[in-house]
A and B are shown apart, each in its own frame.
Chain A
Amino acid sequence: MENKLIVSSSPHIKSPESIKSVMSDVLVALFPAVLAAVIFFGIPALITILVCTLSAMLTEAIILRNKNIFGDGSAAVTGLILALTLPPSPPWWLCVIGSVVAITIGKHVFGGIGNNIFNPALVGRGILLISWAGHMTSWLTPVELTATATPLAGSAHPGFFNLFVGAVPGSLGETSALALLLGAAWLFYKGHISWHIPCTFLAAVFVMGSLLDGGFSLATGLFHLLAGGVMLGAFFMATDMVTSPVTPRGQLIFGLGCGVMTMLVRLYGAYPEGVTFAILLMNALVPLIDNLTLPRKYGEVAK
């Protein structure tokens, strides 16, 4: 009994999971998408990913005066997701500005991790898109890397196989549905995301795409699922823990809203793609959704 005993409130055992382990799992889950990006878009893609991720980590370390640059891993996740939403070969300074904006304006002005209202990576991307529209829409064909437009902006239909594996023009990490599904499966397995947000998001996109884009066609619905950023958004951005509802019912509403807003922008808006704005808009509604969807407690007596 020489040691001082620790007296604390129960429970006395804790699950091994920490913020750092959750963030590390997300990084692992994004690895297939990174790999796909490098396969299809080459070394420039790798440079974009590294610059974004490192500058996000550095920005956070400076803000927090944290000597450990990885910290809890959340900045690396933000930087990496931002990179995956960028075109294949943006100028390096665009990557740096995007990351700095994401971490400062997207996250730390709200009080840091857990307190931000909007998905930080999408705040970064949104500001880049508005400020440097030219750079943000200079798409390249996969492998040959010649200038082109994205399938959503009216280039020829690349075929569903190419859309699924990701051999199409688009943002670095959004093109390969296959890679994103592999990563999402890992997050499901680890219990970090549930089906509620991705399924309702995808269902809304599929249904509206099938019905409203030039008459009834399931193929068009499928095209809307696979083209553009829906897969990346539904599995990795709308599911961001901090900026999505905490109740399962709330998550259903949130996912549905994201899907509907995405399709409204795609079909009737000025931009060919609407995932960024759809998620940012729904982020703003999260506190309201949470309050409207409080679960029925055990033994609740009808009033």
Chain B
Amino acid sequence: MSLKTFKGGVHPGYHKGATEQKPIAPATPPAVAIIPLSQHIGAPCEPLVAVGDEVKMGQKIGDSKGFVSAPVHASVSGKVVKIAQCNSALGRPVDAVFIENDYQDAWHESVQPNPDWEKMTPDELKKIIREAGIVGMGGATFPTHVKLSPPADQKIDYVLVNGAECEPYLTADHRAMLERPEDIVCGLKLAMKIVAAPRGFIAIEDNKPDAIETMKKAVAGEENIEVAALHTKYPQGAEKQLIKVLTGREVPSGGLPAAVGCLVQNAGTCIAIADAVRKGLPLIERIVTVTGSGIKEPRNLLVRVGTPVAEVVEQCGGFTANLRKVIIGGPMMGLAQPGVDNLPVTKGTSGVLCLTDKEVTIDEIRPCIRCGKCVEVCPVSIMPLFIGSSVEQGLYDKAEHYNAMDCIECGCCSYICPAKRPLTQWIRMAKGEIAAKKAAK
């Protein structure tokens, strides 16, 4: 089988060796769980508990009336000690419920398995997924029940499971595919049932041959599900690129995958769906890859949502002395943090990447030499160099002309630029300015 790939992209060092062979280990639950009320794209939740309340594990402690939102749940049992702000990976403080752990791990009575889950209707399934607080776990954290509710006139032909994990360093999805393949297939089949999609794909980069093998075994006998091996290239797992590679379809500019009959779910999200539907479990833990040369013992951990990142780091031997950067997520799209104090693991924390002096360089920004490498690597075929120079001059209309709004912020242009120009950052700036201008109209 020829390997599938897309136009553009880069080949950064993958650095997955430190953790790809390490089984997922459960992390020690936190002494105080910090559950942010906004861990998703959309309306933040209102707290359903008050200071002093006793809560049980899996109890819903925050919810919102907005459709584009997802409830949050207690990841430990214990007592609500305060409702206050905590830090978020995005840099904005968010409201959070602080729960002192009583270490009883007593489940809330709402957490009940659904023995007749196979007979449930799509609407019932969607309700379970919403109540379980499931969001896209690749990092975007878009509420899954919203994604599973495409407009009625858009028929979904394919559900794609994104197991590409093209971000260097991260191995959370890789381990999930090796250790929980049946759950991924179950989650995929549930998603296919909900949107009435006749076919499913599980897409994996060919640098994970063991995962491809395992998933192929797991789908044996499923005639309408195919495991697709993809060429290893960043950003192979970007939603629009994945769709083009597997189906040949292009999501129209400004549109959503449903417009071309596709729906993409991260591998971890599929597990969460299967757990919620079959076992009644809300999303209160996730797999986090803690890695990079700035951490003493890189690991894949199953972490309770709300565990302080500092405690997770502690369980991996702590930071090395020459630590220079802590990133939530991967090195290409992750968010650098000023510190780890008061910062909890959330539903979207796929990795904690710790880099040292060796990897973190501060380069002088040089003039563009028009080498065109950014154009060559851009997976959406826009003109990063021209957008960059437009932004330098404050010409945002010109940046829009060069299709700044179509940027997927994958970071390939900044990565490849020999003049070390922060092209992705400039394009982000342009997107913000253009959107603000449109909103003002």
Q: Determine whether the beta carbon of A14 is less than 8 Å from that of B382.
A: no
Q: How far is the CA of A191 from the CA of B415 in the complex (A)?
A: 15
Query: A residues within 8 A CB of B336?
Result: 5-10, 12
Chain B contacts for A154, CB-based, 8 A:
none
Asked whether A114 and B367 contact (CB < 8 A) given A12-B327, A21-B418, A299-B251, the answer is yes
> Could you tell me if B380 and A297 are in contact, using CB atoms closer than 8 angstroms?
yes
Stretch from A47-55, A207-215, A239-247, A258-266 that touches the partner = A239-247
Residues from chain A with Cβ under 8 Å of B386 in the complex? 290
Question: Across the interface, do B414 and A5 meet the contact criterion of CB distance under 8 Å?
Answer: no
A114 vs B360: C-alpha distance when bound (angstroms): 26
B contact residues around A5 at 8 Å (CB): 323-326, 336-339
**Chain B residues within an 8 Å CB radius of A7:** 325, 336-338
A288 within 8 A of B: no
CB distance from A16 to the nearest CB of B (A): 10
Are B367 and A112 in contact, with the CB atoms below 8 A? yes
Which A4-34 residues sit within 8 Å CB-CB of chain B?
A: 5-15, 17-19, 21-22
The reply to whether A3 and B323 form a contact with Cβ atoms under 8 Å apart is: yes
| Cβ contact of A6, chosen from B252, B360, B403, B422, cutoff 8 A | B360
Q: Which residues of B have CB within 8 Å of A12?
A: 325, 327, 331-332, 334, 336, 353, 355, 359-360
Contact pattern, A 87-125, Cβ under 8 Å of B = 1, otherwise 0? 000000000000000000000000111110000000000
B108-142 CB contacts (< 8 Å) to partner A:
none
Partner of B370, one of A17, A21, A246, A299: A246
Interface: B432 (CB within 8 A) = no
A13's contact among B359, B382, B422, by CB below 8 Å, is which? Answer: B359
For the residues of B in contact with A, the DSSP-based class is: loop
Query: Chain A contacts of B382 at CB under 8 A?
Result: 295, 297
Contact A297 B322 (CB under 8 A): no
Shortest beta-carbon distance from B5 to chain A in Å: 14
> Complex formed: what's the CA distance from A3 to B332 in Å?
23
A192 and B371 contact, Cβ closer than 8 Å, known pairs A14-B361, A297-B380? yes
Q: Does B411 contact A (CB under 8 A)?
A: yes
Residue contact A19 to B366, C-beta cutoff 8 Å: yes
Q: Is there an interface contact between B323 and A115, defined as CB atoms closer than 8 Å? A: no
How many A residues touch the partner, as a band? 35 or more
A246/B331 contact (C-beta < 8 A), A12-B325, A19-B418, A297-B253 known:
no
Q: Which of B319, B334, B362, B417 contacts A10 (CB 8 A)?
A: B334
Is B93's beta carbon under 8 Å from chain A? no
A247 touches B419 (CB 8 A): no
B363 an interface residue at 8 Å Cβ cutoff?
yes
Q: Which of B329, B366, B406, B424 contacts A298 (CB 8 A)?
A: B406
Q: Are A297 and B406 also in contact (CB < 8 A) when A9-B428, A17-B416 are?
A: yes
Check B253–A6 contact: CB distance below 8 A: no
Q: Which of A8, A246, A298 contacts B253 (CB 8 A)?
A: A298
The verdict on B250 contacting chain A, using a C-beta distance below 8 Å, is yes
A254: min CB distance to chain B, Å: 12
CB-defined contacts of B367 to chain A, threshold 8 Å: 111-115
Is the C-beta of B431 less than 8 angstroms from some C-beta in chain A?
no
Q: CB-defined interface of B20-39 with A at 8 Å, one 1/0 digit per residue?
A: 00000000000000000000
Whether the Cβ atoms of B369 and A114 lie closer than 8 Å is yes
Alpha-carbon separation in the docked complex, A5 to B320 (Å): 13
Contacts of B337 in A (CB 8 A): 5, 7
B385 interface residue per 8 A CB criterion: yes
| A241-299 with Cβ < 8 A to chain B | 241-247, 290, 294-299
Establish whether residues B253 and A300, one from each chain, have CB atoms under 8 Å apart when the complex forms.
yes
Is A247 touching B12 in the complex (CB atoms < 8 A)? no
Looking at the complex, which one of B253, B326, B334 makes contact with A299 (CB distance below 8 Å)? B253
B-side contacts of A19, CB under 8 Å: 366, 369, 418-419
Residues of B within 8 A of A247 (CB): 372, 375
Cβ of A301 under 8 Å from chain B = yes
Whether B12 and A15, one on each chain, are in contact in the complex, defined by CB atoms closer than 8 angstroms, is yes
Task: Give the complex CA separation of A9 and B362 in angstroms.
Answer: 12
- CB-defined contacts of B219 to chain A, threshold 8 Å: none
Contacting residues, chain B, for A243 (C-beta < 8 A): 370
Q: Which of A72, A111, A243 has the most CB of B within 10 A?
A: A72
Partner of A301, one of B253, B418, B428: B253
Q: Is B155's beta carbon under 8 Å from chain A?
A: no
Decide yes or no whether B168 CB sits under 8 A from chain A. yes
Tell me if A1 is interfacial: C-beta within 8 Å of chain B: yes
Q: Is B315 an interface residue (CB 8 A)?
A: no
Chain A residues with Cβ under 8 A from B325's Cβ?
Answer: 5-8, 12
Nearest-neighbour CB distance to chain B for A42, whole angstroms, equals 35
Chain B proximity of A18: nearest CB distance (Å): 5
Look across to chain A and name the residue whose beta carbon is closest to the beta carbon of B259: A299
The one of A3, A8, A115, A246 that contacts B383, using a Cβ cutoff of 8 Å: A246
- B339→A1 contact, CB < 8 A: yes
What is the CA–CA distance of A14 and B411 in the complex, to the nearest angstrom? 10
B424 A297 Cβ-Cβ under 8 A = no
Cα distance A18–B361 in the bound complex, in angstroms: 13
B251 to chain A, nearest CB (A): 5
Q: Beyond A1-B323, A13-B415, is A301–B383 a contact (Cβ under 8 Å)? A: no
List residues of chain A with CB within 8 A of the CB of B403. 297
* Bound: A10/B423 CA distance, A: 10
CB distance from B185 to the nearest CB of A (A): 30
A18 touches B324 (CB 8 A): no
Instruction: Give chain B interface residues in 391-430, CB to chain A under 8 Å.
Output: 402-403, 406, 409, 411-412, 414-420, 422, 424-425, 428
Given contact pairs A5-B324, A10-B424, A246 touches B369 in the complex (Cβ within 8 A): no
In the complex the two chains form, is A113's CB within 8 Å of B366's CB?
yes
Determine the distance from Cα of A8 to Cα of B365 in the docked complex, in whole angstroms.
Answer: 14
In the bound complex, CA of A113 to CA of B361 (Å) = 23
Residues of A within 8 A of B197 (CB): none
Chain B interfacial positions (CB closer than 8 Å to A): 10, 12-13, 168, 240, 244, 250-255, 319, 321-327, 329, 331-339, 353, 355, 359-363, 366-373, 375, 379-383, 385-386, 402-403, 406, 409, 411-412, 414-420, 422, 424-425, 428
> Apart from A12-B331, A72-B366, what 10 extra A-B contacts exist at CB < 8 Å?
A1-B319, A1-B339, A12-B332, A13-B415, A15-B12, A192-B371, A246-B372, A299-B255, A300-B253, A301-B254
Top 3 nearest A-B pairs (CB, nearest first) are A11-B411, A114-B367, A246-B372
Task: Please list 26 pairs of residues, one from A and one from B, whose beta carbons are closer than 8 Å in the complex, sorted by A's number.
Answer: A5-B325, A5-B339, A6-B325, A6-B336, A7-B325, A7-B337, A9-B422, A10-B333, A10-B335, A10-B424, A12-B334, A13-B331, A14-B361, A15-B416, A17-B418, A22-B371, A113-B366, A192-B371, A246-B372, A247-B372, A297-B380, A298-B240, A299-B252, A299-B253, A299-B406, A301-B254
